[in-house]
Amino acid sequence: MQTKLTLRDFSLAIALVAVCTIFALLSPQFLGARNLSLLMTELSITATLAMGMLLIILPGHIDLSAGSGVGLLGGIASVLIFEHGWPAPCALGLALLTGIAIWFGMGSVIVRENVPSFIITLGGLLVFKGLFWLVIHNATIPVVQGGKTNLYSLLTTYYLPSTFGYLLAAAIITCIVFGYLRARRVRREAGLQVEDAEMAFYKLFLTAQVLLLFVVIANQFRGVPLPALILGLVSFIIHVLTTHTPFGRYLYAIGGNQEAAVISGIAVEKTVTIAFCIMGAVVAITGFMQTAYSGASTTTVGELMELDAIAACVIGGVSLNGGRGTVLGVLFGALLMSCLLNGMTLLAVSPEFKYIARGLVLSVAVWMDVRLSR
């Protein structure tokens, strides 16, 4: 099967290269090993939240409460560990279950009462922000006390040894190749068209090169950061759910035409509610990483992260109307957002201009989504 590539297919890559080139010229530290390692961690946190947002946007909904939820759930775990003496695994587990329960409640109200998700999650944004400040007593709850490390603090301070990084990359590449070859064989046996062999080889070769380059760059500092592994696991799960399960097909169907999905017998309420439950788990995981990366649970943790996640999705080709979007596209969108924020930080751009830049990027991304959807 021949695939005709257009400029639109490369637009995101071109924009990413342009942004990185500009920041590299303005600040040579941008391509330094230490900064690239920090960029990997920042990307992992933003992209993980964007993975959950993808599941919400695919059926045509939105979640404006994710950023406040990140702060709240991270704050709950911090208070349990450092004020009440809970073991870190128990505190993180309870916060995770709390996130799932809260988002299950919001999803149930949205689908059963037919209330716009925009309104419910906007209310959640305010409620969670207030609860977050109450939980941490409007104070700062440190992640590390007495110089002792724990599971919570290790989330963003642990790095995989260099040898294990290469072994992990080799294992992932092997799995990708065998998985692709198996899918290709199944399609051929079913009498379906398969991708051109030369194009398939180039894609697999490029994927392998990117993974190896990632490990090489990471090993120049301390190794592959743990958040990158968490992102890889979350992305893999979301990819499998959206492309290889009935649940994923239902999400696309609901976003494409909800009435047709209902007529086809799809359990719309159940599917959307499950998507919100998964979002709750993703918000909790992101909250743990963001709080650990900040070094403490403060009133600003998670602020505006929902907008970064939405922007990453839209930039990556996810339609706000639902029914269109991929994990790979979201990863590229998150990378572009992370590079933009990281570069502005290196250049010591003032906070007000950072807000302006983020707002412009989100506005332009939504405008392009509307234009391309016509």
**Rounded to whole angstroms, how far apart are CA atoms 154 and 207?**
29
Phi and psi at residue 142, in whole multiples of 5°?
Answer: -70, 150
- Which of helix, strand or coil describes residue 317? coil
Single-letter residue type at 207 = T
Give the separation between CA 365 and CA 312, rounded to whole angstroms: 9
Instruction: Report pLDDT for 78.
Output: 93
Q: What is the pLDDT of residue 200?
A: 80
Structure-derived torsion over alpha carbons of residues 223, 226, 230, 233, reported in degrees to the nearest 10:
40
163's tokens: 């040898």
What pLDDT is stored for residue 1 in this prediction?
Answer: 38
What is the full DSSP assignment across 324-336? ---HHHHHHHHHH
Say which DSSP state 143 is in.
S
Q: For residue 10, what pLDDT is reported? A: 66
Residue 303 CA to residue 244 CA, distance in Å, equals 34
User: What is the model's pLDDT at position 279?
Assistant: 97
For residue 41, CA distances in Å to 16, 166, 229 come to: 18, 18, 10
pLDDT of residue 6: 47
Computed on alpha carbons and rounded to an integer, the radius of gyration of the chain in Å comes to: 21
| Runs of H (alpha helix) within 113-155 | 117-135, 151-154
For the chain, domains (ranges, CATH) are 7-161+223-373 (1.10.3470)
Q: Which amino acid is at 235?
A: S
Q: What is the pLDDT of residue 77?
A: 94
Please choose, from the candidates 343, 353, 369, the residue with its C-alpha nearest in 3D space to the C-alpha of residue 16: 343
Element housing 100 (H / E): helix 88-112
Nearest to 209 by CA among 159, 241, 173: 173
**Residue burial 110-147, b: 16+ Cβ < 10 Å; e: rest:** bbeeeeebeebbeebbeebbebbeebbeeeebebbeee
**Structure-token match 């979301």, residue found:** 238
Which residue do the tokens 């830049």 mark? 357
Regions of the chain short of the pLDDT cut 50? 1-6
**pTM for the full predicted model:** 0.92
Residue 2: the pLDDT is 41
